[in-house]
A and B are shown apart, each in its own frame.
Chain A
Amino acid sequence: MMHDLVLRVVAKLLIPFILLFALYVQFHGDFGPGGGFQAGTIFAAGIIFYGLIFGVDHTRSVVPDCVVETMLAAGVLIYAGVGVAGLLLGGNYLDYFVLDHNPVHGQHRGIFWVEIGVFVTVAGVMLKIFYMFASRGRTEE
């Protein structure tokens, strides 16, 4: 891919905006369409785009396998952890009302962290699937 100058330049230009847009979708999910699932997919798509242009090996050095696997697990833990936090603060599981003195703020805080959990896991899963397909038949570990 070393000769595809246009592709490489355009990719380098676009990728930061794709990643930024993912974060916009993530944090604007409260007020408009969006949320962790879509944001995670867009974020992973940005990195997969990088992988398509610059090769899987380069991508692996940017986002190593162990990071991806940690993301998979960490997102679920964040989600479940929000629930446990509700338990520890005296409510039921996944009770957002008790997360802040003001119940409405509590709801905001709860959904914020849950969506972060979703974002991390979805991005991790997308990348994991990409890596697994991309590395098939290339290396037999």
Chain B
Amino acid sequence: MSLVTHLPILQVVVPLMSAPLAVLLRHGGLAFAIVTAAAWAAFACAIALWLQVSDGSVISYAIGNWPPPWGIEYRVDRLTSFVLLLVSGMASIVLPYSRGSIAKEIAPELHYLYYAMFGLCLTGLLGIVMTGDAFNLFVFLEISSLSTYVLIALGRDRRALAASFQYLIMGSIGATFIVIGIGFLYLMTGTLNLADMAVRIGAIENSRPVLAALAFLTVGICLKVALFPLHQWLPNAYTYAPSAVTAFLAATATKVLVYALIRFYFSVFGESMVFERLPLPQIMLWLSLFAMFGANFVAIFQDNLKRLFAYSSVGQIGYITLGLSFDSVHGLTASIVHLFNHGIAKGAIFLLIGGIVVAGYKSGGVSSAPTFDRLAGLSRRMPLTCFGIVIGGLSLIGVPGTAGFVSKWYLILAAMEKGQWWLVAAILLSSLLAVVYVWRFVEAAYFREPSAGQEAREEAPPGLLIPAWVLVVAVVWFGLDTSLTVGTALDAAQQLMSNSR
């Protein structure tokens, strides 16, 4: 058995097996060790796969040795390997962080279940990215969604239950739409293999069921992506989930679904059908603009820091879908780069906010929502945390030297390519809204005097600070050295555009 040829399946199976092992052991510490080891192994697999496909080749793995159109195929190309890097990398950073944060946020007897759920969630997300089979994609989507609902419900605030239930309803509607879409496609093409589907769909692409499938898939996936106006579940879910869960979901869950959207648009339906004959680019464009302005505007008025950045996530998703709507190599590059860059920036911010929340529990506070009146003068007690959040915030704005700048640069490039100067102005204007909400944090943390009687907080423990700062450094690193992100994304975009008819 040569390990290299089996990397695509190990990528998914190692986290999958870690979850039941964690349940069997019934011990928080051991479960932590197993799931973390599995996440790191998955990260190693992702790096190896990324290197394997760096020459533009495509790896195909037949599960059960049944050849592709009949059996389930796992398929790795440039885009796949890039998203795998993000998901498994985030898991291997967030899991060590969890050890410190859930000690305060989740009852000890539930710790092993938390790790099991985390392992399942990671499995589901990796599987969605990896699989080349439409129904398998749906199954992994359900695995990741169901475990996500549980993870959110583990939050200490009682409203976490309501948030989780709200997400469950919305997520189930989304999943139902997706499975209806896949069903239509299966009915019309007689295959579930995505590559095979793409070949057969050419002859029937104007038939009504195929159009219906496209509509169902678009709405279903956009529900899970939290594209404006389907984002209603997201702010509550992010606000009340445990800190580590928020960070992991914000960095990966919506991004993986964007990947699924790209996969269906460019690899199955083909961009000529989606973007040239249907008014989809216009719809995407306007929804993205609403997200960029609407959600960012709402973010400004939030009192809870977690909620503020949750709305900012909805806004940032707008940039990703805006890149899609351009239907050009640069637009697609911008989308792919931004889903990576926004993932690490938001992950860093939510991890650092988690540090603030945990420090609040330490001083005996019952409720520790990071509201702005509690943040006053925070920089004096938690200088590293605050500085990290500011750097992450700069990336959300898109200041040069941070990762966010790179993706916005490509977005603007794509807009100029199309000659849409008003869009360039819109992108810059919406960034100003980000300046406002980041400045609200700076103003509270750095310039306001701490209010009297406020609980004394000290800097977050190193177990929380180090993982968060790894991401903060990554935000700056990928702002300066773009060979990994832009290089891979450009390759992936070209691969996608050339494959599609």
Which of A2-10, A26-34, A84-92 forms part of the interface with chain B?
A: A84-92
What's the nearest-Cβ distance from chain A to residue B440, in Å?
42
B17 touches A93 (CB 8 A): no
B20 touches A74 (CB 8 A): yes
**New A-B contacts (10) at CB < 8 Å, excluding given A74-B20, A94-B64:** A77-B17, A83-B9, A83-B13, A84-B17, A86-B64, A90-B1, A92-B9, A93-B13, A94-B63, A95-B64
Question: Which B residues form the contact surface with A (CB < 8 A)?
Answer: 1, 6, 9, 13, 16-17, 19-21, 23-24, 26, 61-65, 116
From A73, A80, A84, A87, contact of B23 by CB (8 A): A73
- A112–B26 alpha-carbon span in the complex (Å): 28
A70 touches B24 (CB 8 A): yes
- A70–B21 alpha-carbon span in the complex (Å): 10
B63 touches A93 (CB 8 A): yes
From B9, B20, B65, contact of A77 by CB (8 A): B20
Among residues 82 to 108 in chain A, which have CB atoms less than 8 Å away from a CB atom of chain B?
83-84, 86-88, 90-97
Closest 4 CB pairs of A and B: A73-B20, A73-B23, A93-B9, A94-B64
- A94–B13 alpha-carbon span in the complex (Å): 11
From A73, A80, A88, A96, contact of B24 by CB (8 A): A73
- A75–B98 alpha-carbon span in the complex (Å): 27
B1 touches A88 (CB 8 A): yes
A97 touches B65 (CB 8 A): yes
From A66, A69, A74, A84, contact of B13 by CB (8 A): A84
Decide if the interface of chain A is mainly helix, strand, loop or mixed: helix
Query: 30 A-B pairs, CB-CB below 8 angstroms?
Result: A69-B23, A69-B26, A70-B24, A72-B20, A73-B23, A73-B116, A74-B24, A76-B17, A77-B17, A77-B21, A77-B24, A81-B17, A83-B9, A84-B13, A84-B17, A86-B64, A87-B9, A91-B65, A92-B9, A92-B63, A92-B64, A92-B65, A93-B6, A93-B9, A93-B13, A93-B61, A93-B63, A94-B63, A95-B64, A95-B65
CB-defined contacts of B61 to chain A, threshold 8 Å: 92-93
CB-defined contacts of B24 to chain A, threshold 8 Å: 70, 73-74, 77
- A71–B371 alpha-carbon span in the complex (Å): 44
CB-defined contacts of A84 to chain B, threshold 8 Å: 13, 17
- A88–B6 alpha-carbon span in the complex (Å): 11
CB-defined contacts of A66 to chain B, threshold 8 Å: 26
CB-defined contacts of A76 to chain B, threshold 8 Å: 16-17, 19-20
CB-defined contacts of B20 to chain A, threshold 8 Å: 72-74, 76-77, 80
